[in-house]
Amino acid sequence: MRRARGAMGGDAHVQPDASPGSRARGATLLLSTQWLRYVLQIVNIVVLARLIGPADFGIVSLGLAIVGIASVLGDFGLSLAALREKDLSQQQKSNLLWLNTAIGAALALIVAAAAVPIARAFDDDRLIAVVLIAAPAYLFRAAVVQFQVELNRTDRFRRLAASELGGDAVGVATAVILALAGSGYVALALQGTVAGVVSLAWAGVAAGWRPSPPRRAPMRRLLVFGVSTLGTHAAHYVTTNVDTIVMGAWYSAATVGFYSRAYQLVMLPLQQVAAPLTRILLPRLAAVADDLDELNDALVRAQRLVSHALLAVTGLLVVGGSPLIEIVLGVDWVPAMQYLPVLAAGTVFQTIAYGYYWGFAARGRSGALFFSEIVGRVPMVLLILLWAPVAPVGVAWGVVAGQVLIWASGTFVFAPRAGLRVRELLLTAIVPVTVSGLATLGSWGLDTAVLNTLPPLIRLPAVAAAWALLAVGLLAVCGRRDARLMTETLRSMRPRRRSTAD
């Protein structure tokens, strides 16, 4: 990887010169690291669930759900705006960094000032400590955005992956040490702040780029796109956290803890694959956005691959949820199982709608992206508020109903207007949904009839093996084309003996 000299000032540009093959291998490394982050988070959940009770988990989940909108506002949509630009000057990148940092600093102060009112509103003084400890994280996360974008744009996926994994690892280690010392909810609240500091330091050094002082530069296009997508991300955050807040208003902290752990188990695969995949795909998709045939071909291929990966994990979580929770979290956490299959149903619709999200972003259709989300998310909030008093699981059903509406609005209203091949994207989902769905039903039946009396440590691998055998058989019968695509993709991403990818 060669980088332009003079990155300290002027309008120097950093241009990647990696080959498509090395880019594919770098992308593979980044996605592989996301699975390492997933494993790390599972280990984190396992260890901390044994050291900290559901009530402490619940109070931290509630506090972070209330103030976590600051993380979305701190990004301000500028990471997506920078990623989709074909060319950015040194001054544009610098201005974006200073803007993100200033917004992050303001939000950190606002969050800290809100600590006491939040605690009074929910009548729990523990929320003061939770919010104050979490507040600095929003500054660090905002400041790191453009350093990570720089690594992403220049195809230095190894360094990008290291900055993210390193922050997570240090944050987890800190939380575990504090939990062992008896810190409880303080350990959980501090985890994100420590991770933010480490990621910022790591990415800042790894990027090898230093921002210039703020000066005038063409920023209008970037800011307009950023503000437009900010509304979508803010709406997404609010509606994906209102469930926790409403749960906290109606039920005990322990109940919030059960729900939040189930939600985390279901959402982790989606977060660890879809988000980094967006960073990899978006610059490539934006480069061909004017050629609708090429764009749609790329979207269909990406949608097929991500659907198989994510729906496989979702199916395994549903069928192995009970022994998984008992092994991973402990017997005390078994009540979380009532939420897991319901929430998993919602992730199916999220997964098969990702092609629309990528298409809207690549084509700069921020309005379509926003309104396609709002159509489902406003009813989602209303249903959560309506069903929450009936039963805790009613909150989960409200989330699922909203996800179905979001998928439907993208499919039948907004994606066709953006020039996306809706019919082909719909057909792409048939095989992954069929394979995962039938494998899940078959292994669930086997578990109910035969395996559910076995100890969890035996039951979990047995039901997972049954699911895998059924899925492979179904793929051989009705998904040979998809199997060939997955095989070809894996081969194209196989690392060579000597690689210059950074």
d(CA 277, CA 348): 17
Q: What is the pLDDT of residue 134?
A: 86
For 379, residues 6+ apart whose C-beta sits below 8 A from its C-beta are: 401, 402, 405
CA nearest to 84, candidates 486, 384, 482, 363:
363
- State the amino acid at position 21 in one-letter form: G
**Cβ 255 vs Cβ 247: under 8 Å:** yes
For residues 127-132, give the mean pLDDT: 88
- Residue 226 or 93, more confident: 93
Q: How many CA atoms lie within 13 A of 445 on its CB side?
A: 6
For residues 35-49, give the mean pLDDT: 71
- Residue 246 or 72, more confident: 246
In this predicted structure, the answer to whether residue 106 has a pLDDT above a threshold of 80 is yes
Tokens of 20: 């498509």
Chain centroid to Cα 15, Å, comes to: 27
In this predicted structure, the answer to whether residue 22 has a pLDDT above a threshold of 70 is no
Q: Which residue has the tokens 């039920």?
A: 251
Element (H, E) at 184: none
DSSP state of 217: -
| pLDDT above 70 coverage of the chain, percent | 81
pLDDT 10s digits, 335-365 = 888 888 888 888 888 888 888 888 887 777 7
For 289, residues 6+ apart whose C-beta sits below 8 A from its C-beta are: 295, 362, 363, 364
CA nearest to 316, candidates 473, 164, 439:
439
**Cβ 373 vs Cβ 234: under 8 Å:** no
- State the amino acid at position 77 in one-letter form: G
Give the model's confidence band at 502: pLDDT under 50 very low, under 70 low, under 90 confident, else very high: very low
| Lowest pLDDT segment from 6-15, 170-179, 208-217 | 6-15
DSSP string, 401-416: HHHHHHHHHIIIIIHH
Tokens of 8: 């300290």
d(CA 229, CA 239): 16
- Residue 499 or 479, more confident: 479
Q: Which residue has the tokens 């950093």?
A: 14
What's the helix, strand, coil split of the chain in %, to 5? Answer: 80, 0, 20
pLDDT 10s digits, 427-477 = 888 888 888 889 999 988 888 888 878 888 888 889 889 998 998 888 888
| Lowest pLDDT segment from 94-108, 194-208, 363-377, 477-491 | 477-491
Give the model's confidence band at 239: pLDDT under 50 very low, under 70 low, under 90 confident, else very high: low
Element (H, E) at 430: helix 422-449
Q: What is the pLDDT of residue 10?
A: 38
d(CA 222, CA 85): 8
In this predicted structure, the answer to whether residue 4 has a pLDDT above a threshold of 50 is no
**Cβ 496 vs Cβ 26: under 8 Å:** no
Average pLDDT taken over every residue of the chain? 78
Chain centroid to Cα 346, Å, comes to: 15
Q: What is the pLDDT of residue 370?
A: 76
Phi and psi at residue 163, in whole multiples of 5°? -65, -40
Spell out the domain ranges in the chain.
1-218, 231-240+250-497
Give the model's confidence band at 71: pLDDT under 50 very low, under 70 low, under 90 confident, else very high: low
For residues 227-251, give the mean pLDDT: 73
pLDDT 10s digits, 262-305 = 887 787 777 767 666 776 777 777 777 777 888 888 888 888 88
Q: What is the pLDDT of residue 30?
A: 57
- State the amino acid at position 102 in one-letter form: A
Q: What is the pLDDT of residue 233?
A: 67
Q: What is the pLDDT of residue 293?
A: 83
d(CA 419, CA 427): 17
For residues 77-92, give the mean pLDDT: 74
d(CA 363, CA 471): 35
Q: Which residue has the tokens 């792409």?
A: 428
Q: What is the pLDDT of residue 326?
A: 79
Helices (H), 1-53: 20-51
Give the model's confidence band at 88: pLDDT under 50 very low, under 70 low, under 90 confident, else very high: confident
Dihedral Cα 175, 179, 181, 184, nearest 10 deg: 120
Q: What is the pLDDT of residue 5?
A: 33
Q: What is the pLDDT of residue 16?
A: 42
Q: What is the pLDDT of residue 6?
A: 35
In this predicted structure, the answer to whether residue 7 has a pLDDT above a threshold of 70 is no
d(CA 502, CA 51): 39
For residues 311-318, give the mean pLDDT: 85
d(CA 432, CA 354): 14
d(CA 148, CA 199): 9
| Lowest pLDDT segment from 66-75, 200-209, 251-260, 320-329 | 66-75
Q: What is the pLDDT of residue 124?
A: 81
Instruction: Please report how the helices 20-51 and 321-328 are oriented relative to each other, as an axis angle in degrees rounded to 10.
Output: 70
For residues 354-382, give the mean pLDDT: 80
Q: What is the pLDDT of residue 230?
A: 67
H, E, C per residue of 80-118: HHHHHCCCCCHHHHHHHHHHHHHHHHHHHHHHHHCHHHH
DSSP string, 150-171: HHHHTT-HHHHHHHHHHHHHHH
